[in-house]
Amino acid sequence: MIPFEEQFAAYRQQHFGFVDRLIYREKAEILDLFPESELAAEVVRDLEALANASGLKRKLTDFILKNIRAQVAGSVSVIEVCGGSCWLLRSVTSQVDHGKFHIHAVGSDLSQRHIETNTTAFRHMNIEWLVADATNLLFSNLKFDIALNCQALHHFPVGIVIKLLRELKRISKKVIIFDLRRTFYGPALVQSLSPFYSSSIISDGVASHRRAYSIQEMEFIIRIADLPYKVTPFTPVGMLVESI
C-alpha cells in the first residue's frame, strides 16, 4: 500500500491551484519549536483571548452543549487533547446544565508547562489535568462520551493527523474537532489584528493559516484512511471534523 504521506503529496500536486501555491507555507511555529517557553505560554493565553473576542468560544461551546444534550443523560465524561489552556473544555464544563448532568472532565496537553499553569489557575474547577500525547493516550476503548480537539490538526503531518483521529475515535463515543481551514484571506485577517495582540500570536497565527489543511484535503485524508469522520465548514476560517 502507498504510504498516506505519499498519497497526500500526490493529491496536493494535482489539486494545488494558483492561490494555494501563493498561500501555502510549511513553517514551524513557536508552539512546535519551544513548547515549554514563556513565548509558548503567551501564545496559548492569546489564543484564548482571540477565541473570546472572535466569538469562537461561544459558538463552539453552544455546538458542544447541544451535542451533549442530544447524546448523553445523567453523567457525561469529556476529554480535551492538545488543549493548551483548555478554554473550550472549561467553557463547556462551566456551562453544562449541572442540574441535569454530572460532568467528568479531563484537560490534557503535551506541554508540561501548560498543564502546570492550568492546575494552578483553575484549581477551583472540577477538572482532571494531564500531560498526554494525543496520538498515544493511555485510556481504554470508549472511556469517554466526548473527545474535543481545537486548533491543533494543522500542527501535524498527514500520518500524525490520521493517528490522532483514530486514537480519539478509539477512546470516545463522539469526537468533535475544530481547526482552521486554509483560505486566501486567513493570513491577512490575522495580520490585521497585530495592533491588538502579541507579535508571537500574530506570527504563529499567520503560519497556522498558511499551513492549515483545506476542507477538500481533510476529506481526502479521511477517505484514504477510511476514517468514520465528516468535515463541515464552521466560521469563515474554520472547519469541524466530527466522528459519525
Ligand X SMILES: C[S@@+](CC[C@H](N)C(=O)[O-])C[C@H]1O[C@@H](n2cnc3c(N)ncnc32)[C@H](O)[C@@H]1O
All 3 cell numbers of residue 92?
463547556
Phi, psi torsion values for 84, nearest 5 degrees? 60, -120
Distance, in Å, from the CA atom of 154 to the CA atom of 102, rounded to the nearest integer, reads 33
Residue by residue, DSSP assigns 18-54 as HHHHHH------HHHH-TTSHHHHHHHHHHHHHHHHH
Here's the x/- map for ligand X, 110-149, by CB under 6 A: it reads as: xx--x------------------xxx--------------
User: Which one of 20-28, 71-79, 83-91, 234-242 is the stretch in contact with ligand X (CB under 6 A)?
Assistant: 83-91
**How many residues touch ligand X (CB under 6 A)?**
21
**DSSP symbols for 200-230:** HHHHHHHHHHHHPPPHHHHHHHHHHTT-SEE
Distance in angstroms (rounded) separating the CA atoms of residues 86 and 89: 5
Instruction: Examine residue 155 and tell whether it contacts ligand X (CB under 6 A).
Output: yes
Does 105 sit near ligand X (CB under 6 A)?
Answer: no
Residue 35 C-beta-side C-alpha neighbours within 13 Å: 16
Q: Is residue 239 a contact point for ligand X (CB under 6 A)?
A: no
Q: Which listed residue (4, 8, 30, 31) binds ligand X by CB under 6 A?
A: 31
Q: Determine if 205 is a binding residue for ligand X (CB under 6 A).
A: no
Helix-then-strand count for the chain, H and E: 11, 7
Stretch that binds ligand X, among 82-90, 122-130, 180-188, 224-232 (CB under 6 A): 82-90
Q: Which is nearer to ligand X, 75 or 191 (CB)?
A: 191
Min dist. Cβ of residue 85 to ligand X (A): 6
Q: Is 46 in the site for ligand X (CB under 6 A)?
A: no
> In the complex with ligand X, which residue's Cβ is closer, 16 or 56?
56
User: CB of 155 within 8 A of CB of 205?
Assistant: no
Site of interaction with ligand X (CB under 6 A): 31, 35, 44, 47-48, 81-84, 87, 109-111, 114, 133-135, 150-152, 155
